[in-house]
Structure 1
Amino acid sequence: MEETFNQTFNQITLDLDSRYGVLSAVSWITLVVALPITFVAIYGLYFFIKADHVAPVYVINLLVSDVVQLCGNALSTVWEPWYAFYFFGLMASVWFMVCIATERYIMIAYPVFFRNIRTIKRAILVSFTVWVGTGITMVILDGDDTADFYRALPFLLPFPLLTGLFLGSWRILSQSRSVSPRKRKQVLGTLALVLWIYMLFFLPYIVIDLVVVLPDMREKSTVRYLHLFSEVLMSLNPVLDPVLYVFMRRDAKDILRAFPCFRRVQKCREQSDTPYTNSTGVIDAAETPV
């Protein structure tokens, strides 16, 4: 009876074609949904960089890595070498999460030091270093016969960093009296979202990828299902990353101010709220908008 059960179970195991079909469908749906939202968020953050705000630099690079992921993942269903771009974007996005969390932590833990290093040029240099380091790591892993195991390590190393930065920031802000409640909520919200994105979308894939390399685990049906599920989850992470744009701003008006159409609407509204005066300087009630 046990043998019959095993045969039946093996018959419903996902084969290579069905796995490819699931991942292809998810990659193209994610591309259609997430790509426009990501470009809108990049534009909004770029507007604030022009206003000499440093913080959005790392978030913009994170969103650019999402674009690389989205395009590489979808196009790899047509031509397999594109998968390297998808993996490159994944690895870069994890380390830009670390950059965002580190920048938030330094801002509250070492405010004087943060003001001295808070320059756009420095942020761009750090971002360039992340891109180059990711590319070098990709070249090293591509030439390794045991890349199935070692490719999980660059994704696993940020986990203790992100956790430590969140807990350290939470401890400092809980004891600080000089930080306003709004600022405290903004910083902790950003760090919590970064950690949550990592744990939800990346950590399951890392754990399963480490399990797969164990002897006799790759062919187990349960492991194959879990591996497919973790790949689907990881391909969905660009959908949530644009939410970080919200945490970079103070309120909804500040978010919408980046877009010309909303600025024109706000300007017209302010003008309509301003009373009109006649040539004598006296407010004319007939010309005052209702």
Structure 2
Amino acid sequence: MFYTGTWPGSIATNLLTLYNLEVRRVLEMMMWINMCVCLPLTILIIYCLFCVTRRSQVPIIYYTNLLISNLIQICIMTLWVTRVESSIFIVIYVSCMMATLYFKMCIALERYFFIACPLLDCLRQTKSSVLVCVLVWALCIISVPLAIVLNEFVRLIIYVTLPGPLFIFCLARTFTALPAATSVPTEEKWRTLGTLIVLFVNYFLIIIPTIICLFVNEYIYRLLYYYVILISVLFLLCPFVDLILFLFMQKGCIDKVLRCLCSCSTDTTVSD
């Protein structure tokens, strides 16, 4: 389920040691949870985003692409659990995982500009946001498979670590700029700050520890065995964390979702 080709020697050894039989069982259990719980929730939220939100809302455009990349990852998990393994699935999974990370970066930048630099709306225009999404997909589809084929694992690490300073900058600058943003409603300020905090926590408490686990040698790994399992479980729970962002995307989102669900149930009742 994880790439075990010709990575640099020590990395390949650590991967083979890290994901032994016992850890694989834990990971497969988490994959089943993703398939049974996160998959239907993701599909439901994507449906709600298309049906009950205005597509001109730029954060929703980035967030929808993020959910689509998560959806592809969960579908690949389904294939792994059913013992359908192929190198192409690894390439697609890593590419979508990278796309998810960069769409989160786009959301963080958009929220920062909304509060701190409202006049710089380059990321908030619909046409430019669509162009950014296309560029993100193109970058991930081209660069990630190329790095895997060329066995340049370090390049993937660089791709993953690049958004880190940006998450720190956006959260810190947005927090200091909140008092000066008098034209922004208080509720919108708290939603923006909550979005950035979720992105920050997701990156530094899940993504970065997962990368660090790949570089620990066998002795340290044995000492941190349960820590590694915990990090692996948290990594597979990333799609759940991404669903939390839905609560901060727009005003009254919960009411709109409930209204959508009520209308669907009403239509079903009428058709019966």
Distance 1:98 1:156 in 2: 11
Q: Deviations for 1:160-180, whole angstroms, at most 9, x for unmatched residues?
A: 111111111111113333332
- Stretches of structure 1 that go unaligned for 5 or more consecutive residues are 1-12, 266-290
Whether the 8 Å CA contact 2:39–2:74 is kept in 1: the answer is: yes
Change (3 A) 1:48 1:163: farther
- Residue of 21, 24, 39 corresponding to 2:25: 21
Mapping of residues 143-158 of structure 1, within 5 Å: 143-147=149-153, 149-158=154-163
Match of 1:235 in 2: 236
Distance 1:227 1:80 in 2: 23
Shift of 1:123: 1.4
Match of 2:11 in 1: none
* Alignment partner of 1:70 is 2:74: yes
Match of 1:137 in 2: 143
Q: Deviations for 1:134-186, whole angstroms, at most 9, x for unmatched residues?
A: 11221222123352x44322221111111111111111113333332112111
Q: Deviations for 1:71-114, whole angstroms, at most 9, x for unmatched residues?
A: 12231241222233222221111111000001111112222331
- The one-letter code of the counterpart of 2:34 is T
Cα RMSD between the aligned structures? 2.6
Match of 1:3 in 2: none
Whether the 8 Å CA contact 1:46–1:56 is kept in 2: the answer is: no
Change (3 A) 1:258 1:249: farther
- The one-letter code of the counterpart of 1:232 is V
- Residue of 100, 109, 112 corresponding to 2:116: 109
Shift of 1:131: 0.9
Whether the 8 Å CA contact 2:98–2:140 is kept in 1: the answer is: yes
Larger Rg: 1
Match of 2:100 in 1: 93
Distance 2:164 2:36 in 1: 30
Change (3 A) 1:66 1:131: same
Between the two structures, name the one with larger relative contact order (CA 8 Å, sep ≥ 6): 2
Change (3 A) 1:14 1:96: closer
- Stretches of structure 2 that go unaligned for 5 or more consecutive residues are 1-16, 268-272
Identity of matched residues, %: 28
> Structure 1-normalised TM-score?
0.75
- The one-letter code of the counterpart of 1:156 is T
- The one-letter code of the counterpart of 1:18 is E
> Structure 2-normalised TM-score?
0.80
